[in-house]
Amino acid sequence: MQACQEKTGIVEVYSKVSKKMLKHLSLMQTIHEQVNSAKSVEREFKALKVKLSDEEVQDKSLQVKLVELQAKVHQLKDLVTQTEKERDVTCEEATKDLIAVRSQVESLRHDLEQRQRNVEAVFMEVDVLTSKTNSIKQSSVLKQQELLNKCESIIKEFHQYTNLVGALMEVKTKEEEE
């Protein structure tokens, strides 16, 4: 029963780790999408720069747009850097959790093996005690049979003795009467 509960606990731990890993995978996919988005924005920025150099006639409205796009790229780069740091931290935590779970599972497995060895040792001890008990029972039965035979022999001799004494008493009483 306890082994079943321990296995259920292990399954729950694996389930929790799996959920965390799925969460991290989702986060990594989001980061990947953001990186792709940043790359596409960066491509747009480069295209605008080329267009700007080719068309020096454009007015300051394009310069404002360029500044906005540069700010967006910088913001996205910062966001990518931040999310990569968060990803690294969460991956490190997940790795630590996985190592802890593996260690705990290994410890539980070791404990179960030790318990199994203890149970086997107890069973062997019980077998030895059962064997000794059976041997003692057999010797006791033989001893009882010997004592019973001696008792019957003593009773038989006692009856012979009482019969002999009774006969002698009768002879003596007859002699006294005569």
Distance CA 12, CA 7 (A): 9
Q: By mean pLDDT, which of 53-57, 75-79, 83-87, 151-155 is the weakest?
A: 53-57
Q: By mean pLDDT, which of 11-25, 50-64, 79-93 is the weakest?
A: 50-64
Asked if the structure places residue 60 within a domain, the reply is yes
Separation in Å, CA 178 to CA 39, 164, 166, 168, 170: 149, 21, 18, 15, 12
State the pLDDT at residue 13: 84
Percent of the chain with pLDDT over 70: 94
**Boundaries of domain holding 118:** 2-142
* 153: number of Cβ within 10 Å: 10
* Mean pLDDT score, 156-173: 86
Q: How many domains does the chain have?
A: 1
Asked if the structure places residue 153 within a domain, the reply is no
* Mean pLDDT score, 55-84: 84
Per-residue pLDDT band at 48 (split at 50, 70, 90): confident
Asked if the structure places residue 59 within a domain, the reply is yes
pLDDT digits (tens, 9 = 90+) for 107-123: 999 999 999 999 999 99
Calculate helix-pair angle for 60-177, 2-54, nearest 10 degrees: 170
Helix, strand, coil fractions of the chain, as percent rounded to 5: 95, 0, 5
Q: By mean pLDDT, which of 8-12, 69-73, 106-110 is the weakest?
A: 8-12
State the pLDDT at residue 57: 61
Asked if the structure places residue 73 within a domain, the reply is yes
Asked if the structure places residue 173 within a domain, the reply is no
State the pLDDT at residue 83: 94
Distance CA 110, CA 71 (A): 57
Average pLDDT, the chain: 87
Query: Does position 58 have pLDDT exceeding 60, yes or no?
Result: no
Distance CA 87, CA 90 (A): 5
